Amino acid sequence: MLSDLSNNEFLVLKAISEGLSDPQSIAEKRQMKIEAARAAADLLAEQGLIQVDKSVNETFSLTDEGAAYVREGLPERRLLLSLGGGMHMSEVKDPALKIGLGWLRKKGWAAIEGGMIKPLKDADKGEDELILEALSDGVSSNPKWDEKALAALKSRGLVTSSKSKEWRYIITEAGSLAITKLEPKRSGTKNAVLDMPALTAEMIKSGEWQDDVDGLYLGYRGSVYRPRPYDVSLPADRIFPGKRHPYQRLIDNMREIMLEMGFVEIKGPIVQTSFWNFDALFQPQDHPAREMQDTFYLNSQGDIPDYARIKEMHECGGSVGSTGWGGCWSPEVARQEVLRTHTTGVTIKYLAEHPRPPVKAFGIDRVYRREAIDSTHTPEFEQLEGIVMDESVSFCHLLGILKEFYGKMGFEEVRFRPGYFPYTEPSVEPEVYIDGLGWVELGGAGVFRKEVTAPFGIDHPVLAWGLGVSRVAMLRLGLKDLRLLYQSDIEWLRQTPVSIKL
């Protein structure tokens, strides 16, 4: 093991054997950085060649206010001297002396009764006054100083302190023996022995390797190098490389799949009018989903487009054979702004701006609902939404697209069961099979009702579906608590492998 000592370790050990005991003096003598001296000493200590004593020293100094009190006396001392036989509190006019009232009572130097300040006894110098005087005389620390008095002076802002670490090295018997054995070898013909740098092919091929009793050496370009052996069987520290958040990787994977399938990504504002979030999707203005327990309403109103056809569709069904919802549709309700409760509001606005086929678009974005936070619910979460509008597309096309999408997501078994959604008909709920869980519902899909598309001049079928991204993430990552996706749990992030199949 002694032959394994690096050059730095040998030099530091030799310096300690010569009486140097702190890293600063060792670094200066050996002309190395103090950090290198400390590191070498720590390695020597691990091998039992030296003993390391570490200590923290605290030194004290006067503040400007503390120095002034050394000259003038503490406020409580000056107040006590001015009391005589006693004094009414109202007679204490000097603000500097008023500061001493509390300390006068706390130290037991005086009592206050009926507004009168009466001295109780002659007061000898306290520990705090003695410490102030010592600091004024240039003393910065003393282990005999009263800790409570020091703490009081620091709390009053009269004294400040600073801490410094100190290292003291003491050579052990094993260290002295090591110097005895190593010094003749390190100080003889191999006085210029250096630690081996990064090996090169030229070094290996040079043939100038020398096998000595204390190890292997390489003579190369006028210098002598000594390689240090390593035990490759020892466990190494775990490395946690930087990587994308698992949830972000899943979202990026979904985005790549949609782009591969020929879809265009669309975006929209978080703040939407009720017109686009609800009314354009043929949701009645008295629908429960609009109530405060489901929606974040803002104290503002936004602009809405020409609403004549939407109003007609809601009140009487327009010209598509619907009966509508009846009642009186209010543009004021439609102007009310909300935090979007789904990304479908972005979708219908995009369709209104692109009413001619073909349209293949998708969006992955965050939505907001008034949900109580627990292991499966949060007030904000991500949705993936896709639409296809073209001539003669049908419900069968929708099922095929969904099966293709979920297959690319890694779900081998997909099935559909009838569902109900306010703005699609027919509607289905896709389900995938998960080992250990069985069939799990992963979103909703359907064909937009004519009550949704007709007011915007859309004459062709629109296939639409939505997917809760966080639900897929829980399944893929094996989570039981949805909140982990949004918390900075470093341990969980480290333990989640980069190569996990998402």
Whether residue 344 is annotated as binding a ligand: the answer is yes
Spatial CB neighbours of 231, under 8 Å, sequence gap ≥ 6: none
Whether residue 347 is annotated as binding a ligand: the answer is no
> Per the confidence metrics, is the pTM higher than 0.95?
no
Whether residue 69 is annotated as binding a ligand: the answer is no
Whether residue 339 is annotated as binding a ligand: the answer is no
**Closest to 75 measured CA to CA, from 104, 113, 108, 38:** 104
Q: What is the pLDDT of residues 404-421, one digit of tens each?
A: 998 888 888 899 999 988
pLDDT at 293: 61
pLDDT at 184: 64
Using CA atoms, how far apart are residues 43 and 48, in angstroms rounded to an integer? 9
Using CA atoms, how far apart are residues 134 and 351, in angstroms rounded to an integer? 83
Whether residue 385 is annotated as binding a ligand: the answer is yes
Whether residue 72 is annotated as binding a ligand: the answer is no
Please give, one letter per residue, the 3-state secondary structure of 395-429: HHHHHHHHHHHHHHCCCCCEEEEECCECCEEEEEE
**Beta strands at 50-62 and 159-171: parallel, antiparallel or unpaired:** antiparallel
Spatial CB neighbours of 239, under 8 Å, sequence gap ≥ 6: none
Partner residues linked to 366 by β-bridges: 382
**Closest to 447 measured CA to CA, from 394, 406, 401:** 394
Partner residues linked to 169 by β-bridges: 52
* List of the chain residues with pLDDT < 50: 188-191, 502
Residue ranges of the domains in the chain? 64-157, 188-236, 247-389+466-495
pLDDT at 453: 92
Quote the DSSP letter at residue 216: E
pLDDT at 123: 80
pLDDT at 111: 85
Residue 469 CA neighbour count, 13 Å, CB half: 26
Using CA atoms, how far apart are residues 61 and 21, in angstroms rounded to an integer? 27
What is 247-389+466-495's CATH superfamily? Bira Bifunctional Protein; Domain 2 (3.30.930.10)
Whether residue 425 is annotated as binding a ligand: the answer is yes
